[in-house]
Amino acid sequence: MNLPVLSASDFASDQDIRWCPGCGDYSILAQMKKVLPQLGVLPEKTVFISGIGCSSRFPYYMNTYGMHSIHGRAPAFATGLKSTRPDLSVWVITGDGDALSIGGNHFIHLLRRNLDVNIVLFNNRIYGLTKGQYSPTSLEGHVTKSTPMGSIDHPLNPLSVAIAAEATFVARSIDAHVKHLEMTLRRAAQHKGTSLVEVYQNCNVFNDGAMAYAQDRNQRPENTIELEHGKPLIFGKNRDKGIRLVGHCLEIVKTAEVPTDDLLIHDETSADPALHYMLSRLRYPEFPEPIGVLRNVTGVATYDEQINDQVVQARSKKGVGDLQQLFNSGDTWQVA
Amino acid sequence: MDTPSSSNATSVQYVSGITVRMAGDSGDGMQLLGTQLTNTSALAGNDVATFPDFPAEIRAPRGTRAGVSGFQLQFAAEEIFTPGDSLDCLVVMNPAALVTNLADLRKGGILVVNEDGFNAKEFKLAKLDKDPLEDEVLESTYRLVKVPMTQLTRQAVADLGLSVKHADRCKNFFAMGLVYWLFGRSLEPTQRFIQTKFGMKPEVAQANETALLAGWAYGETTEAFGISYRVEAAQLEPGTYKNLMGNQALAWGLMTAAQRSGKELFYSTYPITPASDILHELTRYKNYGVRTFQAEDEIAAVCATIGASFGGSMAVTASSGPGIALKAEAMGLGMIMELPIVVINVQRGGPSTGLPTKTEQSDLLQVMFGRNGESPLPIVAPAGPADCFEMAQEAWRLAVRAMCPVVLLSDGYIANGSEPWKIPNVAEMEPIEIQHPEGAAQTGEKFMPYSRDENLARPWAVPGTAGLMHRLGGLEKEDVTGNVSYDPANHQHMTDTRARKIELLAEQIPLQTVFGDKSGEILVVSWGGTYGACHTAVSRCRKAGLSVSHVHLRYLNPFSRNLGQLLRSFKTVLVPELNTGQLRMLLRNQFLVDCRGINKVQGKPFTVRELVEAIRDQACVDRDCTVVDQKLQLCAS
């Protein structure tokens, strides 16, 4: 089949974008529009489903089908749609409050069911649309409008949660790191099964610079580590540091002092989630934070595939259902 | 049933109908006994109506009053509408069942007791300080028949080598055999059932069948009963019939609606009593294209239906009151997105967790108003178990006409009750027409997702269609274009349009019919599962000469176009409801008619007697009713 050659503009809707100037969301939108034409999926076969929050305005800006649903529930809408329309390419757009607080339940269940949908989680560690309350990913001690003495909540790590739920594709990227973001979104789209991409996204109004250590191009090499499948974990501006597994712990070593063979080699395809989980626990400032694909397990059946397979199986076993036959089956009696 | 006149050697007496209740411990298999007797009676051509009543606990403490499970059934040689008020026959397996059910047995009724269930240990569990069977009033008031069912069952299956525990499990089949003998029922349907159900375990099948036959033989041999009874076939409308439970009828109605509209059914739900049986039923029919989704919670269940509806499926969710409370936000979203779904509420006693296994009609105002903002939704309500089949289809028909969620209100009494259902001819059913717009690309015109047809419904454009890409959402939309809009005049216009759209459905539903005269003194207005009791009560009062008519509403929002006129044609409007006056409030509000309530919230359906008395009291407010009372007495016996 010859697909028309599409460009980013084919995926842009005619609506004015209403995010704050300087918001990290713009970059994610731009990368998405860049990735979609590369996938060979038509705009009319693509659906964006969001919850509530700044990020959730996303579908209005895409010239695809879309639903701006209710707070935290986008995964449930996506489940209903993808289960009945497996032919569609379905994206869930969500934020840290939407996915991890009010929608935590649905987030976990979408991941464990492994529907073939892609989740992009915009993590800015703050509630933006409600003007600056702390979120489930805000750090301890964070002073916000609702935590004047500092947050006493322990933050939730979405990648750890996803890996615990045995998600088949778990990745992280950064709004400002556009090439990396584009690559990560593309890989997420190509994965069969639920893909989670956490994107560090700057809220320049209510939490400016909260993740500057990773977003700023000068600080990034020291504070993040780009994962590549089959490659040793090396980071630093001069690629002089690495990660090594010692017992049950990861530790930072100087590459000059340790043979490369001793460094941890990233295996994103391992079905055992233990090492992926350990990677997800690496947090700034003690460690560089991993970006890229932590986990990419293939060959796991998807929910949408199975729910439709069962219909096919039942029909081949019992024949296509006939209502009249059903109604007349079992005990009946005649009244003359 | 007439009181028998002789009690020597067993004779056969023909009666017009029997009301019987079997009660025992929740583990005693009383529900099975009841459903078997129901099915067998239906197959014998009787009209039947049932009322299963069981505790919320799966295994409530054994032997206690709280653990008593009962099944009431009326079978008759004439058309009936309720499972009966007072019992002609009560079968009890233990003391707790006796003391909690005896009040409903009429004087002179038959009381069959498993006397092996009556011992010191059981008295203690039932909080009794002595053997209730020793009370002489029992013998003098009822026709008491004591049967050592446990011992007789053990003897009957002795040769089969079962443990005592397993042998005792067969005693409900012994009781069944005895009851079948008493009412002259054929054993054959239950023998078939045993083979189907326990065929994989031949020793269990054999033991149950042996116990069944032993129960029958015991009735045949003993002279304790004196009389056995026969109820002839009822003259129902000609056709082929099947006994159907309410939840099963809902499931089949949904499948039929899907076929009529050329759709496959997506049913998304979270387990909750008393709605779960719809899921159990539907999930068996994958070869009919049914996809069931057991969601992680009530909210996910309804949200998934909206997602599926966006994709063009027929999507349905069901719950009971507590779950509907959780679904409220998404129902509002479906309403503003203008997507069709069906939301079923199988009501139970509330508020909060309330009485999970008992019936009530107290969620009408919840589904009418229980959402934020101005968000009217159509509401329909089946009148009984068999009517669920039709109203499930009606709910979907209205949903696609108006492009919005439609609520169907059932209740625990309808859901678990059963009655004969005349099997329809599927080939003769009219299609439910749905048109999804084709791509607008050909015309080059921009697609307008909120343009409207003559019903004010917007087009149902589904993903995959080129040129029709659009975004739905919970933010207010500009009419026609569907773009987000905060314009004050547009919000007014959209609010008015959504309300008007629901009002216009009145054109799509049948005119309200009346049982009795179209004007007069008293009009009884009911809805939902109280139909049978109200109809029977009004019928009796009319026979006694009262000027009373009955209107039963199956469409609650909007009401039928002629309802206001009907209400105003009577001096008094009585509204019986199993709540504190919810329909009454809606009727008063809409029609400014002074409706009076007959209300009860005891987790139990109305008895016919309660309603007859309420109608009689109203009729006799300012007149002497001696003659009427005499007639009512006659009619009620």
Summarize pLDDT for A275-299 with one digit per residue, the tens.
Answer: 999 999 999 999 999 999 999 999 9
Where are the strands (E) in chain A, listed by range? 46-50, 65-68, 89-95, 117-123, 169-174, 195-200, 224-226, 234-235, 241-246, 249-254, 289-296, 333-335
Answer whether residue A222 is part of any domain: yes
* Helix (H), strand (E) counts: chain A: 11, 12
Answer whether residue A220 is part of any domain: yes
Residues A245 and A102 in one domain: no
Measured between alpha carbons, how far is residue B352 from residues A167, B302, B321, B326, B570 in Å? 35, 19, 8, 11, 37
Q: Which residues of A touch B308 (CB under 8 A)?
A: 80-81, 83-85
What residue of B is the nearest CA neighbor of A84? Answer: B308
Mean pLDDT of chain B: 94
Q: Which residues of B touch A75 (CB under 8 A)?
A: 300
Q: How close A41 gets to chain B, by Cα (Å)? A: 11
Which of B42, B237, B303 minimises the CB distance to A77? B303
Residues A96 and A189 in one domain: yes
Mean pLDDT of chain A: 96
Q: Which residues of A touch B242 (CB under 8 A)?
A: 327-328, 330-333
pLDDT computed for residue B1 by the predictor: 44
**Residue A333 and residue B259: Cβ atoms within 8 Å?**
no
**Does A1 have pLDDT greater than 70?**
no
Which of A49, A105, A307 minimises the CB distance to B297? A105
Residue at which a domain ends, from A206, A241, A265: A265
Measured between alpha carbons, how far is residue B196 from residues A203, B27, B189, B190, B284 in Å? 65, 21, 11, 10, 17
Residues A260 and A200 in one domain: no
Q: Which residues of A touch B241 (CB under 8 A)?
A: 332-335
Q: Is B121 helix (H, G, I), strand (E, B) or coil?
A: helix
Q: Which residues of A touch B45 (CB under 8 A)?
A: 333, 335
**Residue A42 and residue B426: Cβ atoms within 8 Å?**
no
Those of residues 278-317 in A touching chain B at CB distance below 8 A are: 307-308, 310-311, 313-315, 317
Q: Which residues of B touch A51 (CB under 8 A)?
A: none
Which of B291, B297, B329 minimises the CB distance to A83? B291
**Residue A308 and residue B291: Cβ atoms within 8 Å?**
yes
Nearest to A291 by CA among A189, A187, A144, A191: A187
ipTM of the shown complex: 0.97
Based on the structure, what is the number of domains in chain A?
Answer: 2
Residues A61 and A138 in one domain: yes
**Residue B469 and residue A327: Cβ atoms within 8 Å?**
no
Residue A250 touches chain B, beta carbons under 8 Å: no
Flag the least confident range among A1-10, B220-229, B473-482. A1-10
**Average pLDDT value for residue range B339-351:** 98
Which of B289, B304, B469 minimises the CB distance to A63? B469
**Pairing between strand A65-68 and A117-123?**
unpaired
Answer whether residue A112 is part of any domain: yes
Answer whether residue A278 is part of any domain: yes
Q: How close A11 gets to chain B, by Cα (Å)? A: 10
pLDDT tens column, B275-332: 999 999 999 999 999 999 999 999 999 999 999 999 999 999 999 999 999 999 999 9
Residues A41 and A123 in one domain: yes
pLDDT tens column, B368-382: 999 999 999 999 999
Q: Which domain holds residue A246?
A: 232-265
Residues A164 and A245 in one domain: no
Q: Which residues of B touch A333 (CB under 8 A)?
A: 42-45, 240-242
Chain A to chain B Cβ contacts (< 8 Å): 213
Mutation for testing the B interface, residue in A65, A71, A107, A306 having most B CBs under 10 Å: A65
Q: Which residues of A touch B262 (CB under 8 A)?
A: none
Q: Is B424 helix (H, G, I), strand (E, B) or coil?
A: coil
**Residue B464 and residue A63: Cβ atoms within 8 Å?**
no
pLDDT computed for residue B55 by the predictor: 84
Q: Show the CA angle centred on residue B348, arms to residues B344 and B353, nearest 5°.
A: 110
What residue of A is the nearest CA neighbor of B446? Answer: A14
**Does B636 have pLDDT greater than 90?**
no
Residues A17 and A62 in one domain: yes
**Does B2 have pLDDT greater than 90?**
no
Residue A1 touches chain B, beta carbons under 8 Å: no
**Residue A64 and residue B313: Cβ atoms within 8 Å?**
no
Same fold, B242-422 and B520-636: yes
Residues in chain A: 336
Q: Which residues of B touch A327 (CB under 8 A)?
A: 242, 252, 423-424, 426
pTM strictly above 0.90: yes
pLDDT tens column, B247-284: 999 999 999 999 999 999 999 999 999 999 999 999 99
Residues A208 and A260 in one domain: no
Residue A242 touches chain B, beta carbons under 8 Å: no
pLDDT computed for residue B29 by the predictor: 92
**Does A104 have pLDDT greater than 50?**
yes
**Does B5 have pLDDT greater than 60?**
no
Residue A257 touches chain B, beta carbons under 8 Å: no
pLDDT band at B3 (very low <50, low <70, confident <90, very high): very low
Domain of A192, CATH number, reads 3.40.50.970
- DSSP assignment of B347-386: E-B-STT-BTTS---TTHHHHHH-SSSS----EE--SSTT
- What are the sequence ranges of the domains in chain B? 11-230, 242-422, 520-636
Maximum C-alpha span of chain B: 91
* Helix (H), strand (E) counts: chain B: 22, 22
Residues A156 and A250 in one domain: no
pLDDT computed for residue A2 by the predictor: 57
Phi-psi sector, A302: left (phi>0), alpha (psi -120 to 50), beta: beta
Residue A45 touches chain B, beta carbons under 8 Å: yes
Both structure tokens of B566: 């009907």
Residues A54 and A166 in one domain: yes
Residue A12 touches chain B, beta carbons under 8 Å: no
**Residue A83 and residue B240: Cβ atoms within 8 Å?**
no
pLDDT computed for residue B637 by the predictor: 43
pLDDT tens column, B562-621: 999 999 999 999 999 999 999 999 999 999 999 999 999 999 999 999 999 999 999 988
| Choices 3.30.70.260, 3.20.20.370, 3.40.920.10, 3.30.230.10: CATH for B11-230 | 3.40.920.10
Residues A39 and A130 in one domain: yes
**Residue B311 and residue A85: Cβ atoms within 8 Å?**
yes
Tell me the torsion sign for CA atoms A283, A284, A288, A291.
positive
Residue A320 touches chain B, beta carbons under 8 Å: yes
B242-422 is classed CATH 3.20.20.370 = no
**Residue A81 and residue B256: Cβ atoms within 8 Å?**
no
The residue among B7 and B245 whose pLDDT is bigger is B245
- CA torsion angle B238 B240 B246 B247 (round to 10): -160
**Residue B464 and residue A73: Cβ atoms within 8 Å?**
no
Residue A13 touches chain B, beta carbons under 8 Å: yes
Residues A109 and A169 in one domain: yes
**Residue B291 and residue A327: Cβ atoms within 8 Å?**
no
**Does B195 have pLDDT greater than 70?**
yes
Architecture of the structural domain at B520-636: 3-Layer(aba) Sandwich (3.40)
Round to whole Å and give the CA distance between B448 and B80.
53
Q: Show the CA angle centred on residue B633, arms to residues B627 and B637, nearest 5°.
A: 155
